[in-house]
Amino acid sequence: MATNTNEAFAILKDAVTFEFAEDAYLKEIAKLMTKEECDDGHVFAKEGEVSAKWFILDEGTVLRYKGPVDDNHILDKLEGRGRVTALFHSLKEEHVSYSTVVASGHVKLWSVDAKAYRDLLASHGGFALQLAAHLARLLRHESKVSRALAQARGSSPDDDKGDSKTLRVLCYDTTEWVRSGFGPALMEFNKGLENLQIVMEYTEDRLNARSAAYATGYDAVCTFVNDTADSDVIRMLSMLGVKMIAQRAAGFDRIDTKAALTFGLTVARVPAYSPYAVAEHAMSLLMTLNRKITRASSRVHMSNFTLDSGLMGMDIHGKTVGVMGTGKIGGILCNIIKGFGANLICFDVFENDEVKQIGGKYVTKDELYEQSDVIFLMMPLLPSTHHTLNMDTLPKLKQGVLLVNTSRGGLVHTGALLEGLKTGRIGGVGMDVYENEADYFFQDWSAKQIEDPQLVSLLGNNNVIMTAHQAFFTKEAVDKIVSTTLENLRDYAKGMTGLEHPNSCLPKPKE
């Protein structure tokens, strides 16, 4: 063999992909190989385009992307001598690449013309049989792994009976109310389905890069507000065969929906359950904070029936109350506020006509900060609303303002909140959410030491009323969450996928 052919043969011997092959087969492939060197950013194969070549890496690193490279959704990284990419996509004529393959830094590799390789297989039946036998071994191995995982969780890949389809769902971040809510409801829901059964299993772990592997063998995952489905997790779920994320909440700021769209996952949420629950809880926090209910109740339980200035509140009637965010929940809150006889001012990029009709006045942010005796944060968490309350905002607030947040913890910079409480610029805060709540909320930390110093400071402050993300937690709301989540799973199973799903929260591609 010539020098280049010897080099090519040597790297084939190092490639795990060809460990099954006889030397005669490898020598014939070596004759088809061309040595290449490429700089950073060179594209070897493009997603959706016909695979004209396949490649064996010699030196350097290549990255495989799903979607536009600029979106940085990396499928995996290939590095090390003998790594092979695009081989199986090139076996069939006109087969398109699954991903875009790009050089990361300077790369040396070998390329093989896809047509020439197919011709080699066609003319040497023995080589084709070796490849087919190798693929069969891989298939048997994956089948055994899948079967073992299924048996470990008490089910089988062959559980489907007759013409009935089974949709297997893994529910993350499971607490008592999730099991008690979904269990009986799912049994009843399945009775009304034709040719479909939904099987839901549970884990108390939250979805993250470590726990994503639990979803092996499942068709969908069911997530909650503190589960993390970032780009890396989405990629892992996709590779495991998961095709849907059913978010049992309205908010989806911890789901990378752009990555989900790229990797072909359907994401559906519960757009509304009981907006009254959240609005009523927000007002409950205000009144508990304002009228010192927690402190007063504790004193009375200790047989202390005296009154002093530490228990004094203020009338909400006649005060100026600012509402930031007047969507469905914010609009309901505005109605409650008007019932107190307060002066209602609002801020939202989209003004709500119903709020205007009841006397709400829209003002600028700075005007709301300056005038409000009470401020409610009712906006979604977006890049534009992140840390709406921050160090720059503090000086603009009315001295002693009461703040209530039942929306998202990330709306408030915790350092700024603590500073405002310390100086008295903020007279008190009622909060159902906290920007670093993911490590603590929905878990019992009563026998453990809380390691977050800012959370410790808030919990020890008499001017802070905190609940653990329970504003939504009413019977009506939970019933709606359960029923809509099950309907979302049913609709997906019936073919309403991607942007066609009625409750999809995937971003629409730019035209």
Q: Which of 88, 118, 84, 89 has its CA nearest to residue 11? A: 84
**Residue 141 known to be catalytic:** no
CA distances (Å), origin 428, targets 391, 402, 454: 16, 5, 16
Q: Identify which has the larger pLDDT, 97 or 269.
A: 269
Does the pLDDT of residue 208 top 80, yes or no?
yes
Q: Which of 314, 285, 312 has its CA nearest to residue 296? A: 312
What is the pLDDT confidence band of residue 18, given thresholds at 50, 70 and 90? Answer: confident
Predicted pLDDT at 388: 97
Q: Which of 83, 408, 413, 425 is catalytic?
A: 408
Query: Which of 138-142, 181-185, 244-248 bottoms out in mean pLDDT, i.e. has the lowest?
Result: 138-142
Query: For the residues 218-223, what does the mean pLDDT come to?
Result: 96
Dist. CA 78–CA 84, nearest whole Å: 8
The domains found in the chain, sorted by start residue, are 3-123 (2.60.120.10), 165-273+477-500 (3.40.50.720), 275-466 (3.40.50.720)
What is the pLDDT confidence band of residue 473, given thresholds at 50, 70 and 90? Answer: very high
Q: Which of 73, 83, 269, 469 is catalytic?
A: 469
Predicted pLDDT at 45: 85
Predicted pLDDT at 67: 77
Dist. CA 289–CA 312, nearest whole Å: 11
Measure the N-to-C terminal CA separation of the chain; round to a whole number of Å: 53
CA angle at residue 373 from 370 to 379, to 5 degrees? 80
Pairing of strands 266-268, 244-247: parallel
Dist. CA 188–CA 182, nearest whole Å: 10
Predicted pLDDT at 159: 52
Predicted pLDDT at 157: 47
Query: For the residues 379-397, what does the mean pLDDT come to?
Result: 95
Quick one: DSSP state of residue 508?
Answer: P
Q: Identify which has the larger pLDDT, 371 or 509.
A: 371
Encode 220-250: b = buried (16+ Cβ within 10 Å), e = exposed: bbbbbbbbbbebbbbbbbbebebbbbbbbbb
Q: In sequence order, what are the residues at sequence separation of 6 or more whose Cβ sits closer than 8 angstroms to the Cβ of residue 87? A: 17, 54
Predicted pLDDT at 433: 96
Does the pLDDT of residue 14 top 90, yes or no?
no
Pairing of strands 84-85, 53-65: antiparallel
Q: What is the pLDDT of residues 25-44, one digit of tens each?
A: 889 899 999 999 999 999 98
User: Strand order in 426-431's β-sheet?
Assistant: 361-362, 343-347, 320-324, 374-377, 401-405, 426-431, 464-466
Q: Which amino acid, one-letter code, is at 155?
A: S
Query: For the residues 203-215, what does the mean pLDDT come to?
Result: 92
pTM above 0.75, yes or no: no
Helices 328-339 + 275-290 axis angle, to 10: 40
Q: Which of 167, 125, 165 has its CA nearest to residue 28? A: 125
Q: Which of 64, 235, 269, 437 is catalytic?
A: 437
Q: What is the pLDDT of residues 141-160, one digit of tens each?
A: 555 455 555 555 555 444 54
**Residue 408 known to be catalytic:** yes
Three-state secondary structure call for residue 85:
strand
Mean pLDDT of the chain: 89
- 238, 240, 244, 246: CA torsion to nearest 10: -120
Dist. CA 353–CA 469, nearest whole Å: 29
Predicted pLDDT at 170: 96
Q: Identify which has the larger pLDDT, 471 or 49.
A: 471
Dist. CA 414–CA 200, nearest whole Å: 37
Dist. CA 448–CA 452, nearest whole Å: 12
Dist. CA 174–CA 206, nearest whole Å: 8
CB 337: neighbour CB atoms within 10 A?
27
